[in-house]
Amino acid sequence: MDLGEALSWQGELTCIRHDQDSGAWFVIALDSTRRGPAAGGTRAMTYPSLGDAVADASQLASAMTLKMAITDLPMGGGKSVLVLPRPRAELDEATWRRILELHAANLESLGGSYVTGPDVGTSSRDMDLLGRSTAHVFGRSLDAGGAGSSAEMTAHGVFAAIKAATTEAGRPDLPGQRVLVQGLGAVGARVADLVAAQGAELLVTDVDPARCTSFQDLGAHVVAPDQATSTACDVFVPCATGGVIDITIARSLPAAVVAGAANNVLTERAAAAVLGQRGVVYAPDFVANAGGAVHLVGREVLGWSAETVQRRTAQLGDTLHKIFSDARARDVTTDQAARDLARERLSEPPVA
Ligand code: NAD
Ligand code: PPY
Protein backbone atom coordinates (compact mmCIF):
# COMPACT_ATOMS: atom_id res chain seq x y z
CA MET A 1 0.00 0.00 0.00
CA ASP A 2 1.41 3.44 -0.82
CA LEU A 3 1.72 6.05 1.89
CA GLY A 4 -0.85 8.43 0.36
CA GLU A 5 -3.50 5.70 0.44
CA ALA A 6 -2.61 4.79 4.03
CA LEU A 7 -2.92 8.43 5.11
CA SER A 8 -6.47 8.82 3.78
CA TRP A 9 -7.60 7.37 7.13
CA GLN A 10 -9.96 9.56 9.17
CA GLY A 11 -8.29 9.30 12.60
CA GLU A 12 -7.11 12.25 14.70
CA LEU A 13 -3.32 12.06 14.26
CA THR A 14 -0.56 9.98 12.70
CA CYS A 15 3.05 10.50 13.86
CA ILE A 16 5.91 9.06 11.80
CA ARG A 17 9.60 9.17 12.65
CA HIS A 18 12.71 7.52 11.24
CA ASP A 19 15.96 6.58 13.00
CA GLN A 20 18.87 6.44 10.61
CA ASP A 21 21.20 4.58 13.01
CA SER A 22 18.95 1.53 13.53
CA GLY A 23 16.95 1.88 10.30
CA ALA A 24 13.69 1.65 12.29
CA TRP A 25 10.53 3.63 11.50
CA PHE A 26 8.11 4.63 14.27
CA VAL A 27 4.40 5.06 13.59
CA ILE A 28 1.85 6.14 16.19
CA ALA A 29 -1.80 6.41 15.13
CA LEU A 30 -4.35 8.13 17.37
CA ASP A 31 -7.81 7.27 16.10
CA SER A 32 -9.89 8.93 18.79
CA THR A 33 -9.43 10.67 22.15
CA ARG A 34 -13.16 11.36 22.51
CA ARG A 35 -13.67 9.04 25.50
CA GLY A 36 -10.21 9.58 27.02
CA PRO A 37 -6.55 9.25 26.09
CA ALA A 38 -6.00 6.97 23.11
CA ALA A 39 -4.75 3.54 24.23
CA GLY A 40 -3.47 0.49 22.39
CA GLY A 41 -0.39 -1.67 22.16
CA THR A 42 2.99 -1.33 20.45
CA ARG A 43 3.47 -3.82 17.62
CA ALA A 44 7.12 -4.51 16.63
CA MET A 45 7.75 -6.34 13.38
CA THR A 46 9.00 -5.99 9.80
CA TYR A 47 6.63 -4.69 7.09
CA PRO A 48 6.77 -4.82 3.27
CA SER A 49 6.59 -0.98 3.15
CA LEU A 50 6.05 2.08 5.32
CA GLY A 51 2.59 2.44 3.73
CA ASP A 52 1.65 -1.03 4.99
CA ALA A 53 2.86 -0.14 8.48
CA VAL A 54 0.88 3.12 8.56
CA ALA A 55 -2.23 1.32 7.28
CA ASP A 56 -1.82 -1.38 9.95
CA ALA A 57 -1.36 1.15 12.78
CA SER A 58 -4.39 3.16 11.61
CA GLN A 59 -6.73 0.18 11.25
CA LEU A 60 -5.61 -1.27 14.58
CA ALA A 61 -6.09 2.13 16.26
CA SER A 62 -9.67 2.33 14.91
CA ALA A 63 -10.38 -1.14 16.30
CA MET A 64 -9.10 0.05 19.72
CA THR A 65 -11.62 2.94 19.69
CA LEU A 66 -14.44 0.45 19.11
CA LYS A 67 -13.04 -1.92 21.76
CA MET A 68 -12.86 0.79 24.42
CA ALA A 69 -16.36 2.05 23.61
CA ILE A 70 -18.02 -1.36 23.58
CA THR A 71 -16.49 -2.22 26.97
CA ASP A 72 -17.37 1.20 28.39
CA LEU A 73 -13.76 1.93 29.31
CA PRO A 74 -12.82 5.62 29.62
CA MET A 75 -10.17 5.53 26.89
CA GLY A 76 -9.89 6.28 23.20
CA GLY A 77 -8.17 4.23 20.54
CA GLY A 78 -4.57 4.28 19.29
CA LYS A 79 -1.79 1.95 18.25
CA SER A 80 1.95 2.12 17.59
CA VAL A 81 4.01 0.22 15.11
CA LEU A 82 7.79 -0.14 15.34
CA VAL A 83 8.86 -1.02 11.82
CA LEU A 84 11.98 -3.09 12.41
CA PRO A 85 14.88 -3.13 9.91
CA ARG A 86 15.03 -6.93 10.32
CA PRO A 87 13.13 -9.51 12.44
CA ARG A 88 13.26 -8.89 16.17
CA ALA A 89 15.18 -12.16 16.79
CA GLU A 90 18.00 -10.81 14.58
CA LEU A 91 18.32 -7.46 16.40
CA ASP A 92 21.09 -7.10 18.98
CA GLU A 93 20.04 -5.97 22.45
CA ALA A 94 21.64 -2.50 22.12
CA THR A 95 19.69 -1.77 18.92
CA TRP A 96 16.41 -2.98 20.46
CA ARG A 97 16.99 -0.78 23.53
CA ARG A 98 17.75 2.22 21.31
CA ILE A 99 14.48 1.63 19.43
CA LEU A 100 12.54 1.43 22.70
CA GLU A 101 14.21 4.60 24.04
CA LEU A 102 13.24 6.53 20.90
CA HIS A 103 9.71 5.14 21.13
CA ALA A 104 9.54 6.31 24.78
CA ALA A 105 10.66 9.80 23.68
CA ASN A 106 7.89 9.81 21.04
CA LEU A 107 5.33 8.79 23.69
CA GLU A 108 6.55 11.59 25.96
CA SER A 109 6.21 14.14 23.16
CA LEU A 110 2.51 13.20 22.88
CA GLY A 111 2.11 14.27 26.52
CA GLY A 112 -0.19 11.43 27.60
CA SER A 113 -2.73 11.75 24.79
CA TYR A 114 -1.67 8.21 23.86
CA VAL A 115 -0.83 5.39 26.28
CA THR A 116 0.75 2.24 24.91
CA GLY A 117 0.94 -1.39 26.05
CA PRO A 118 2.19 -4.77 24.81
CA ASP A 119 1.18 -6.18 21.42
CA VAL A 120 2.62 -8.60 18.86
CA GLY A 121 6.42 -8.46 19.18
CA THR A 122 6.51 -6.68 22.56
CA SER A 123 6.13 -7.95 26.12
CA SER A 124 5.73 -6.76 29.71
CA ARG A 125 9.52 -6.70 29.93
CA ASP A 126 9.63 -4.21 27.04
CA MET A 127 6.95 -2.14 28.79
CA ASP A 128 9.23 -2.09 31.88
CA LEU A 129 12.03 -0.69 29.69
CA LEU A 130 9.71 1.94 28.17
CA GLY A 131 8.44 2.71 31.67
CA ARG A 132 11.89 3.91 32.72
CA SER A 133 11.54 6.90 30.39
CA THR A 134 7.80 7.53 30.20
CA ALA A 135 4.72 7.03 32.39
CA HIS A 136 2.45 6.52 29.36
CA VAL A 137 2.65 2.71 29.45
CA PHE A 138 0.23 -0.07 30.41
CA GLY A 139 1.15 -3.68 31.09
CA ARG A 140 4.48 -3.37 32.88
CA SER A 141 5.36 -6.46 34.90
CA LEU A 142 3.85 -6.89 38.37
CA ASP A 143 7.33 -6.39 39.87
CA ALA A 144 7.60 -3.02 38.13
CA GLY A 145 4.17 -1.97 39.44
CA GLY A 146 2.11 -2.74 36.31
CA ALA A 147 -0.83 -5.09 35.72
CA GLY A 148 1.37 -7.66 33.95
CA SER A 149 0.42 -9.56 30.82
CA SER A 150 -3.06 -9.10 29.39
CA ALA A 151 -2.98 -12.49 27.63
CA GLU A 152 -4.79 -14.46 30.31
CA MET A 153 -7.81 -12.13 30.42
CA THR A 154 -7.83 -11.90 26.62
CA ALA A 155 -8.06 -15.71 26.56
CA HIS A 156 -10.93 -15.70 29.08
CA GLY A 157 -12.75 -13.14 26.94
CA VAL A 158 -12.24 -15.28 23.83
CA PHE A 159 -13.60 -18.26 25.74
CA ALA A 160 -16.71 -16.25 26.73
CA ALA A 161 -17.07 -15.28 23.05
CA ILE A 162 -16.83 -18.93 21.94
CA LYS A 163 -19.58 -19.88 24.41
CA ALA A 164 -21.83 -17.01 23.28
CA ALA A 165 -21.28 -17.72 19.57
CA THR A 166 -21.78 -21.49 19.84
CA THR A 167 -25.01 -20.82 21.75
CA GLU A 168 -26.12 -18.47 18.96
CA ALA A 169 -25.27 -21.21 16.43
CA GLY A 170 -27.54 -23.63 18.32
CA ARG A 171 -24.71 -25.84 19.56
CA PRO A 172 -23.97 -24.58 23.09
CA ASP A 173 -22.26 -27.68 24.46
CA LEU A 174 -18.53 -27.76 23.78
CA PRO A 175 -17.89 -31.46 24.57
CA GLY A 176 -17.31 -33.29 21.30
CA GLN A 177 -17.18 -30.13 19.16
CA ARG A 178 -14.14 -29.67 16.93
CA VAL A 179 -12.40 -26.44 17.94
CA LEU A 180 -9.50 -25.30 15.75
CA VAL A 181 -7.10 -22.83 17.40
CA GLN A 182 -4.83 -20.98 14.95
CA GLY A 183 -1.74 -19.59 16.73
CA LEU A 184 -0.59 -21.04 20.04
CA GLY A 185 1.08 -17.94 21.47
CA ALA A 186 0.33 -16.15 24.72
CA VAL A 187 -3.44 -16.05 24.06
CA GLY A 188 -4.04 -19.03 21.76
CA ALA A 189 -2.32 -21.57 24.03
CA ARG A 190 -4.50 -20.47 26.94
CA VAL A 191 -7.69 -20.63 24.85
CA ALA A 192 -6.68 -24.13 23.72
CA ASP A 193 -6.30 -25.18 27.38
CA LEU A 194 -9.70 -23.71 28.26
CA VAL A 195 -11.61 -25.42 25.43
CA ALA A 196 -9.80 -28.75 25.95
CA ALA A 197 -10.75 -28.62 29.66
CA GLN A 198 -14.41 -28.40 28.54
CA GLY A 199 -14.11 -31.65 26.57
CA ALA A 200 -13.88 -30.12 23.10
CA GLU A 201 -11.98 -32.01 20.41
CA LEU A 202 -8.93 -29.78 19.94
CA LEU A 203 -7.26 -29.04 16.61
CA VAL A 204 -4.19 -26.78 16.65
CA THR A 205 -1.93 -25.06 14.17
CA ASP A 206 1.08 -22.75 14.43
CA VAL A 207 3.85 -21.73 12.04
CA ASP A 208 6.20 -22.70 14.88
CA PRO A 209 5.71 -26.51 15.09
CA ALA A 210 7.30 -26.63 18.57
CA ARG A 211 4.26 -24.77 19.92
CA CYS A 212 1.98 -27.64 18.82
CA THR A 213 3.97 -30.42 20.51
CA SER A 214 2.59 -30.21 24.05
CA PHE A 215 -0.99 -30.10 22.71
CA GLN A 216 -0.32 -33.04 20.41
CA ASP A 217 0.97 -35.00 23.42
CA LEU A 218 -2.38 -34.30 25.12
CA GLY A 219 -4.31 -35.67 22.12
CA ALA A 220 -4.82 -32.58 19.94
CA HIS A 221 -4.83 -33.04 16.18
CA VAL A 222 -2.16 -30.88 14.47
CA VAL A 223 -3.20 -29.09 11.27
CA ALA A 224 -0.67 -27.64 8.78
CA PRO A 225 -0.72 -23.80 8.90
CA ASP A 226 -1.79 -23.53 5.25
CA GLN A 227 -4.76 -25.85 5.95
CA ALA A 228 -6.15 -23.79 8.84
CA THR A 229 -9.06 -22.28 6.94
CA SER A 230 -9.87 -25.38 4.88
CA THR A 231 -10.02 -27.94 7.71
CA ALA A 232 -13.53 -28.84 8.84
CA CYS A 233 -14.32 -27.78 12.40
CA ASP A 234 -17.24 -26.46 14.44
CA VAL A 235 -15.41 -23.46 15.89
CA PHE A 236 -12.55 -21.59 14.20
CA VAL A 237 -10.47 -19.59 16.72
CA PRO A 238 -7.98 -17.22 15.02
CA CYS A 239 -5.29 -16.26 17.56
CA ALA A 240 -2.35 -15.54 15.22
CA THR A 241 -2.30 -12.56 12.85
CA GLY A 242 -5.04 -10.39 11.37
CA GLY A 243 -6.26 -10.52 7.77
CA VAL A 244 -7.04 -14.26 7.89
CA ILE A 245 -10.54 -14.24 6.36
CA ASP A 246 -11.07 -12.60 2.98
CA ILE A 247 -14.22 -12.92 0.86
CA THR A 248 -13.02 -16.11 -0.82
CA ILE A 249 -12.23 -17.80 2.49
CA ALA A 250 -15.51 -16.54 3.98
CA ARG A 251 -17.35 -18.33 1.12
CA SER A 252 -15.76 -21.66 1.94
CA LEU A 253 -14.65 -21.67 5.61
CA PRO A 254 -15.86 -25.07 6.88
CA ALA A 255 -16.87 -23.88 10.38
CA ALA A 256 -20.12 -22.91 12.15
CA VAL A 257 -18.53 -20.26 14.39
CA VAL A 258 -15.60 -17.81 14.20
CA ALA A 259 -14.45 -16.36 17.55
CA GLY A 260 -10.84 -15.50 18.31
CA ALA A 261 -8.27 -13.00 19.54
CA ALA A 262 -6.66 -11.79 16.32
CA ASN A 263 -7.26 -8.08 15.71
CA ASN A 264 -8.77 -7.18 12.31
CA VAL A 265 -9.25 -10.83 11.39
CA LEU A 266 -11.43 -9.96 8.36
CA THR A 267 -9.60 -8.37 5.42
CA GLU A 268 -12.77 -6.44 4.56
CA ARG A 269 -16.16 -5.91 6.13
CA ALA A 270 -17.93 -7.64 3.24
CA ALA A 271 -16.44 -10.91 4.52
CA ALA A 272 -18.75 -10.60 7.57
CA ALA A 273 -21.74 -10.45 5.24
CA VAL A 274 -20.61 -13.58 3.39
CA LEU A 275 -20.14 -15.46 6.68
CA GLY A 276 -23.57 -14.30 7.85
CA GLN A 277 -25.28 -15.37 4.58
CA ARG A 278 -23.79 -18.83 5.06
CA GLY A 279 -25.07 -18.99 8.66
CA VAL A 280 -21.58 -18.86 10.16
CA VAL A 281 -21.76 -16.98 13.48
CA TYR A 282 -18.96 -14.39 13.63
CA ALA A 283 -18.08 -12.91 17.04
CA PRO A 284 -16.66 -9.47 16.10
CA ASP A 285 -12.95 -9.46 16.95
CA PHE A 286 -12.89 -6.18 18.86
CA VAL A 287 -15.47 -7.62 21.28
CA ALA A 288 -14.08 -11.17 21.50
CA ASN A 289 -10.53 -9.95 22.26
CA ALA A 290 -11.41 -7.09 24.63
CA GLY A 291 -10.52 -8.97 27.85
CA GLY A 292 -6.93 -7.70 27.69
CA ALA A 293 -8.04 -4.08 27.49
CA VAL A 294 -10.46 -4.67 30.40
CA HIS A 295 -7.53 -6.08 32.40
CA LEU A 296 -5.04 -3.29 31.63
CA VAL A 297 -7.40 -0.32 31.94
CA GLY A 298 -9.44 -1.90 34.74
CA ARG A 299 -6.42 -2.62 36.92
CA GLU A 300 -4.24 0.38 36.08
CA VAL A 301 -6.72 3.23 35.53
CA LEU A 302 -9.90 2.23 37.34
CA GLY A 303 -8.33 0.41 40.31
CA TRP A 304 -10.51 -2.68 39.76
CA SER A 305 -9.81 -5.88 41.70
CA ALA A 306 -8.89 -9.08 39.85
CA GLU A 307 -12.46 -10.32 40.54
CA THR A 308 -14.03 -7.24 38.95
CA VAL A 309 -11.80 -7.64 35.89
CA GLN A 310 -12.87 -11.30 35.61
CA ARG A 311 -16.54 -10.40 35.95
CA ARG A 312 -16.31 -7.61 33.35
CA THR A 313 -14.45 -9.94 31.00
CA ALA A 314 -17.06 -12.69 31.37
CA GLN A 315 -19.71 -10.04 30.56
CA LEU A 316 -18.27 -9.85 27.04
CA GLY A 317 -20.42 -12.94 26.47
CA ASP A 318 -23.55 -10.93 27.42
CA THR A 319 -22.47 -8.10 25.12
CA LEU A 320 -22.18 -10.61 22.28
CA HIS A 321 -25.65 -12.05 22.98
CA LYS A 322 -27.02 -8.51 22.68
CA ILE A 323 -25.09 -7.97 19.42
CA PHE A 324 -26.28 -11.27 17.92
CA SER A 325 -29.88 -10.54 18.85
CA ASP A 326 -29.70 -7.01 17.41
CA ALA A 327 -28.09 -8.32 14.18
CA ARG A 328 -30.94 -10.83 13.79
CA ALA A 329 -33.63 -8.23 14.55
CA ARG A 330 -32.26 -5.66 12.06
CA ASP A 331 -30.96 -8.16 9.51
CA VAL A 332 -27.45 -6.70 9.61
CA THR A 333 -24.12 -8.45 10.09
CA THR A 334 -22.85 -9.10 13.61
CA ASP A 335 -19.91 -6.83 12.72
CA GLN A 336 -22.31 -4.00 11.82
CA ALA A 337 -24.39 -4.54 14.99
CA ALA A 338 -21.21 -4.40 17.12
CA ARG A 339 -19.98 -1.23 15.37
CA ASP A 340 -23.38 0.41 15.86
CA LEU A 341 -23.39 -0.44 19.57
CA ALA A 342 -19.84 0.92 19.94
CA ARG A 343 -20.76 4.11 18.04
CA GLU A 344 -23.80 4.61 20.29
CA ARG A 345 -21.47 4.45 23.28
CA LEU A 346 -19.00 6.78 21.55
CA SER A 347 -21.65 9.46 21.52
CA GLU A 348 -22.22 9.08 25.29
CA PRO A 349 -19.84 10.00 28.13
CA PRO A 350 -17.96 6.94 29.51
CA VAL A 351 -19.61 5.30 32.53
CA ALA A 352 -17.04 2.63 33.47
P1 NAD B 1 1.80 -14.17 20.20
O2 NAD B 1 2.80 -13.50 19.34
O3 NAD B 1 2.16 -14.59 21.59
O4 NAD B 1 1.25 -15.49 19.45
C5 NAD B 1 0.96 -15.53 18.09
C6 NAD B 1 1.18 -17.00 17.66
O7 NAD B 1 0.71 -17.13 16.33
C8 NAD B 1 2.64 -17.44 17.67
O9 NAD B 1 2.75 -18.70 18.31
C10 NAD B 1 3.00 -17.52 16.17
O11 NAD B 1 3.98 -18.49 15.90
C12 NAD B 1 1.65 -17.90 15.59
N13 NAD B 1 1.46 -17.57 14.18
C14 NAD B 1 1.85 -16.46 13.50
N15 NAD B 1 1.44 -16.53 12.22
C16 NAD B 1 0.77 -17.70 12.10
C17 NAD B 1 0.09 -18.33 11.03
N18 NAD B 1 0.02 -17.77 9.82
N19 NAD B 1 -0.49 -19.53 11.26
C20 NAD B 1 -0.42 -20.12 12.47
N21 NAD B 1 0.21 -19.56 13.53
C22 NAD B 1 0.79 -18.37 13.33
O23 NAD B 1 0.54 -13.19 20.20
P24 NAD B 1 -0.66 -13.15 21.26
O25 NAD B 1 -0.37 -12.16 22.32
O26 NAD B 1 -1.05 -14.53 21.62
O27 NAD B 1 -1.82 -12.50 20.35
C28 NAD B 1 -2.47 -13.26 19.35
C29 NAD B 1 -3.38 -12.35 18.55
O30 NAD B 1 -4.36 -11.78 19.42
C31 NAD B 1 -2.68 -11.17 17.87
O32 NAD B 1 -3.29 -10.93 16.63
C33 NAD B 1 -2.96 -10.00 18.81
O34 NAD B 1 -3.01 -8.74 18.14
C35 NAD B 1 -4.33 -10.36 19.33
N36 NAD B 1 -4.62 -9.80 20.66
C37 NAD B 1 -3.82 -10.11 21.71
C38 NAD B 1 -4.11 -9.55 22.95
C39 NAD B 1 -3.27 -9.89 24.17
O40 NAD B 1 -3.70 -9.59 25.28
N41 NAD B 1 -2.11 -10.54 24.01
C42 NAD B 1 -5.21 -8.70 23.12
C43 NAD B 1 -6.02 -8.43 22.01
C44 NAD B 1 -5.72 -8.98 20.77
C1 PPY C 1 -5.32 -4.71 22.21
O2 PPY C 1 -6.27 -5.06 22.94
O3 PPY C 1 -5.33 -4.91 20.97
C4 PPY C 1 -4.19 -4.01 22.78
O5 PPY C 1 -3.47 -3.34 22.07
C6 PPY C 1 -3.91 -4.17 24.24
C7 PPY C 1 -4.00 -2.87 24.97
C8 PPY C 1 -5.18 -2.54 25.56
C9 PPY C 1 -5.26 -1.35 26.28
C10 PPY C 1 -4.18 -0.54 26.40
C11 PPY C 1 -2.99 -0.88 25.80
C12 PPY C 1 -2.89 -2.06 25.09
Mutate to test the pocket of ligand 1, among 123, 239, 244 (most ligand atoms within 8 A of CB): 239
The pair phi, psi for residue 141, each rounded to 5°, is: -65, 160
2 or 119, which is more confident? 119
Q: What are the CA-CA distances from residue 143 to residues 124, 127, 314, 348 (Å)?
A: 10, 12, 27, 36
Average pLDDT over residues 72-83: 98
- Between the CA of 188 and the centroid of ligand 1 the distance, in Å, is 7
For the CA of 289, the closest atom of ligand 2 is 2
Tell me the C-alpha distance between 110 and 351, whole Å.
Answer: 25
The reply to whether ligand 1 has any atom less than 6 angstroms from the CB of 292 is yes
* Nearest ligand to residue 228 Cα: 1
Q: pTM above the 0.95 mark?
A: yes
pLDDT digits (tens, 9 = 90+) for 274-301: 999 999 999 999 999 999 999 999 999 9
Tell me the C-alpha distance between 159 and 157, whole Å.
Answer: 5
Quickly state the pLDDT bin for 3 (edges 50, 70, 90): confident
Task: List active site positions.
Answer: 79
- What is the pLDDT at residue 349? 66
Smallest CA separation from ligand 2 atom 9, residue: 293
